[in-house]
Chain A
Amino acid sequence: MSFQVSDTDGIVLVAVDGELIVGNREAFKEVVIDQLDDGGRKFLIDFAESSYIDSSGLGALVSLSKRIREEGGELRLAGLNDDLRTLFELTKLNTLFQISDSRELALADF
């Protein structure tokens, strides 16, 4: 369970390895907000190595997205497996986020 942060042409890429759930959502938010405070505005969260997000994790994504929008930026998602896609569809959060199939597609398009 870890978050790898890197910068690709001005896009802050956060790769989630493991789960994004109640036990680590605060650490996740800190990682992203640190980057926002450092001037990052385009954020891509890659879930290719993640298979489990709970309501706390979804809530963290929603509140981060709101905060980033307020600063004039945007948060997008990539690499969701079928289970995670279903989760976003059930909660209608697929209407709130731009979701790409892969990190590469998302980076090319951002």
Chain B
Amino acid sequence: MVEPRRRVLIWSGRPEVVADLTARVRELDPEASVVSPSGESNGERPDLVFIDLTSSPRTAREARATYGLETELIAIVDSGSVDDLLPAIAAGCSDYLFHPINGAELRLRWQRHVAGRGGDRPHRPAGLSGTLHLEFPSSVGYVRHAVAEVVEACERLAFAGSRATLNLRVALGEVLANAILYGNDEDAGRLVRIDADLKPGAAVVTVTDEGSGFDPSAVLDPTLPENRDRSHGRGLFLLRTLADEVDFSERGNAVTLTVRSSGG
């Protein structure tokens, strides 16, 4: 059977990014049609759109709206656009690549999102539908964006008020900080994953890191007068105080927190 020609769009205002990606895609698939950077696809739906977060003429949300769910969107991110990555993923990017492009990383994305595609590809829901999944490198700079995405989704889909803006926000922030700093040792090559299930009655959020886990029982009470002056040791206390339930996986590298819409 003859495979249809792959169609790739590159949305970038940076000629060096366009040239680099075009050459690398042609190495992976000499037959691929690569179009850039106008954002036009001659009416045919592309298989893949690279969106350069630094200089793309259009956004991930526009791409999703124009091409639907069958087109894969990959964000190109560099030091100048890291802050845009999580919003782009929340808007529908399925993956990301760091610029300058690493050939092995690109091949992995190509195999994952383009070459291996068939009719039995799992269905990906459109936007937020009560669940939210985020995956990002272990850098503390991501914490506020990740927390904001989950809290905003909670306010839209589940519940609002201080249970979202205080309890969920702070508890999730603490879990993410722990996962990045202690679970993954701030190694940007290791990922942190968030799986959030947001329902009107409760937000249930699991954070998984790639570390070997830790012992959650060995923690001082930071509210005792002798500990109040300490600069560390409040994270787990806040997590346990603000979340209604906290469960640690046996290995200790996954934490599931539950915040209900009303206290108790």
Contact = CB atoms under 8 A, between A and B. Distances in A.
Interface of A: 1, 18-19, 21-23, 51-52, 54-56, 58-60, 62-63, 66, 82-83, 86-87, 90-93, 95-96
A54 B231 CA distance: 12
B223 A23 contact: no
B165 interface: yes
Contact of B170 (A54, A59, A96): A54
A60 B140 CA distance: 15
Nearest to B238: A55
A22 B173 contact: yes
Given A21-B144, A55-B235, 18 more contacts: A1-B144, A21-B173, A21-B177, A22-B173, A22-B180, A23-B144, A52-B144, A52-B147, A52-B170, A55-B174, A58-B234, A82-B162, A90-B223, A91-B238, A92-B223, A93-B228, A95-B228, A96-B228
A59 B181 CA distance: 15
Contacts of B260: none
Given A54-B177, A82-B162, A87-B166, A59 B143 contact: no
Given A21-B143, A23-B141, A90-B238, A96 B229 contact: yes
Contact of B162 (A52, A56, A58, A83): A83
Nearest to A56: B177
B41 interface: no
Given A90-B238, A91-B238, A22 B222 contact: no
B241 interface: yes
B234 A52 contact: no
16 contacts: A18-B144, A21-B144, A22-B143, A22-B173, A23-B141, A52-B144, A54-B143, A54-B238, A56-B177, A58-B234, A66-B229, A82-B162, A86-B162, A91-B222, A91-B234, A92-B228
A55 B169 contact: no
B170 A62 contact: no
Interface in B192-231: 222-223, 228-231
Interface in B21-42: none
B232 interface: yes
Contacts of B170: 52, 54, 87
Contacts of B169: 52
A49 to B, nearest CB: 15
Given A23-B140, A55-B235, A58-B234, A91 B223 contact: yes
Given A54-B170, A90-B241, A91-B238, A60 B231 contact: yes
Contacts of A90: 223, 238, 241-242
B237 interface: yes
A89 to B, nearest CB: 10
Interface centre among A1, A18, A90, A96 (most CB of B within 10 A): A90
A83 B177 contact: no
B223 to A, nearest CB: 4
Contacts of A55: 174, 177, 234-235, 237-238
Contacts of B141: 23
A52 B174 CA distance: 12
Contacts of A62: 228-231
Nearest to A54: B173
A54 B177 CA distance: 9
Given A21-B143, A93-B228, A59 B166 contact: no
Interface centre among B165, B170, B177 (most CB of A within 10 A): B170
A19 B144 contact: yes
